[in-house]
Structure 1
């Protein structure tokens, strides 16, 4: 063959994914995979005519439906049948090799001794092959001993590889003595694996458990990040080397990734389920704290695999042990109570596991209290959470309902009761903070919503859109109160004055407009910028309005609200300025720019007081904590940074400060987002960002 390609179907990859990767490999990255699966298959057949290739699809049974007649595909995987037929019925010089515990139904009519499709039923290895494995492990066995050993383990090469170590280490290479030990110590692969696992260190067992949970090859960094163990980086490398030497793990297909042999993965998974079952029954979590039942942030096919092979079997066995749904839920509640008694640093995955199991069990979550707990990796997409308390909870890695495509702006109401979010599909959603439930949907814009703001009296929500319109909404009723038109193009920013009677807006049309909320009329147009006005903000006393622009020479302008005149122009950024925000005391103005910096300015003098560096892409939003001690910044680099502004002592008359993320001023970098951070907002109590 000119090219040999191996693809594992163990975790059920989508057919389109497999076809695209194969097309690119066979064409040496020259061909672009078409959109339709049928066209992808046709192109692959053509490429197989041009190059003689061997494509191996391993573990085909992973995409077959269990519990039904043999040869039936799982939902969403019937396209693999089209691939098999396409490569079976069309002329080409290549070969598709399948390994599977189940034969696809469509291949039966096509196979035969001289037909294009042929089947080889694999049995255990021949005695001679088994002897080769033993010799490679420095074990000299007679033909009779090899035959007996091969029979005991069904000629399974993995089992033979695993038993070689105890034969050599415990029995001095004496196969007969090993076999004479008999049941239960060495009877079968389960017992053999159990003996192997018992000899492992805590960190070795930890790696095996996480690889079994992960269901796909994992990098060292991912193993370390998910583990609750504290160990030196060198220890993880040593552990992986040791586990490879024990033949308990193997390399993944891509780079420095590792996974388990299928038989080992099944065994470890069963052990995890058994341990977690016992802990739930007695109400004392240990493994439940150290390991996740499922990973909410994993790819969907992996998450579904975790639900199918870990969560559901665990719940099924709980039902058998406890006899009733009420007792299952009661024991899970007892586990949650036990987790709550632990310090936060020891809670681990306990709270998240209980929540995931309740969700998988179909429990009514109304009124559940998860406050001040670690709720790690909870998969709450499309889950109703009425009156569920997450106050003070650490929701690291958790997924909530995805209501829209991309969220751009966010804003908390001044009283802390509501959160508003705008999306690129033109909708604004209103959420009740207490129970995190959506309570309103405002529709009317025909373009992306770029900005939202609450009036200081909490009664009105303003939204600005790329459709050039500003809309005012009643927070209480959801009714549209007014539509403000006058800007010539996209609205980037809106802000209420402290008296809730004045609204400022910034637009692509290079102007700022001041609007009367009472009459809905434009009171003034401020037109000294020469490019888009991306952000506007009122000072806490309402006397000053700051505006940030994309002027050729990027500037911030400060306006006297009473006279509608520009009283200061702040220069220092070298690229578009996207956001400005006054500190709660009104003395400092923060700005975020595409030049990757945040600048802090003295409002009284216009002097630059500090420059904060650390983001690697344009800074889209800045927001002060309610007490003014902390500044948050959101960036297109997909992170949020938390800056300790109090540590800068900006009011002490010091010279301008230049601080990077390593200086200690940056308290934290939040990197859970998987896309650009377009907006950030602090809750009124400062506990939630």
Structure 2
């Protein structure tokens, strides 16, 4: 303790040099506590900057940190004071501890202490939502006890609010932020998942030096408002909820008063976001903005305001190049407005998703459509594949065209025409230089993958051709067709090497073993037929399936072969002994396609029951049942990294899923009819889908 006389000897002004306290701390062993130090920090300055007249606290901290003494100074603050980090080091006596939220066990102890009931799982959800903050947990516990009879599950079924005490603290913290810091906080609330510095920098309408953005992020970390996960930055749940509500409230106020700021500087939803993120943006940002505006202005009033807005934007260059036009179009789409005659000429129409939206007579003349996504007009897709280098996604379509999409930007790179009926299958050669396609028009075509030009037309099948496959060396091409044959071709000369006949049985699937020593086909009698592609002799026949055998897949290590068809189940074979290992059951209807994960253990399947399943082949258990398709799911393919899974179907869309979590990441629209096949390129940068709209489409798998 310091006696009264020593206290009287302290300087009268905090910005005067402080010598006496340090001498007293050297003479005696004392503990000084400066609690809530952030209350003397300056607003609208970098984190930890002192208000005028309070710089003496910084001098005191510096003096105690640098001079020898026998005492201890303890600071508590939501922001790190300027200069403190320079005092820290491996051999320094100055240390800082960033307090994280409580672990589940600590949070549960608080809830139990407050007399709450509920399962461990429900308590963990509550603790995670409030990021383990002890104050927040005590506040919410009092509410649950008073309004929900202590039932945590009942509270979870209701909305989990931000309490006034927490809101007051966040209001104070936000008031101290710089303009750039506030903008980054709002962008992190929009992104809703860890986002790297380059992506945050690219979001900004007013281009700031990347160094300034990095300094602002560091300042937010010192303010304890930001979390870093790997290379990305994100917000705690409560902070994200607060920031989201702030954005919604401010945008509503701006549109009511015609004073556009946040509305112009931020995208309320992003067309290029992962699909589950985009849906969250719509649900938590776009929809509340629309609902509040309709409640205050009426639907007719809101429509009139939004339709008049483009003229206002064009009159101001800063607004014309902002997110405002994209936000107003997203709002109009969300409320189901008639878009005919909307004039968005000479405006930046950024981050708008027009997939599946009928948008006739919109004037986009000289508009900047960066980051927006539109449907192309073509028929459904049956087949999809990635190029081995991962740069292209190719889709075979119902109109006989093959469409090549760049995965770098998701744009259609070219369209290859030649087939006269729909394309059932597409497959890249192992070196990625050639693409083979099979069609209802009874031909197989070989295309130059660089130019998209047709190199060869392989004629010989007298009925539809359902499947094509390359051998490992790329010197043989196999095709399976409705004329009850499997044919071997030289894909470089077009020469027919051999015809394997299957009298009375149309063939629907064909694949080579990874070592190229065997060829297997599947047909309408449900049998697997094995052939030697070198001696051209039949090897064996396995009869297992009832009805058509529709799909075959060989694991990359050659150990497993999977087959499936109309019988709802998948047969898993030891590819060396051809003994049946197990049957995978779970689909409620025909299994239409199969694909092995690169790890050789996991298998994906699609079905006419509208689901996609991921299986553990060692246990036979279903790991994920992926729902979202609204009709038959025709095709699937794993990304070469195994991190992503693509599926396509009759509902005219290609969906991309997170393999680990089963979350829908993105939905590639554009097909206006069935999508029947999908595949990733070998390097995983491209995803291709094909359908009955006669097209093959290629997308950037990253975007």
TM-score (normalizing by structure 2): 0.45
Which structure has more relative contact order (CA 8 Å, sep 6+)? It is 2
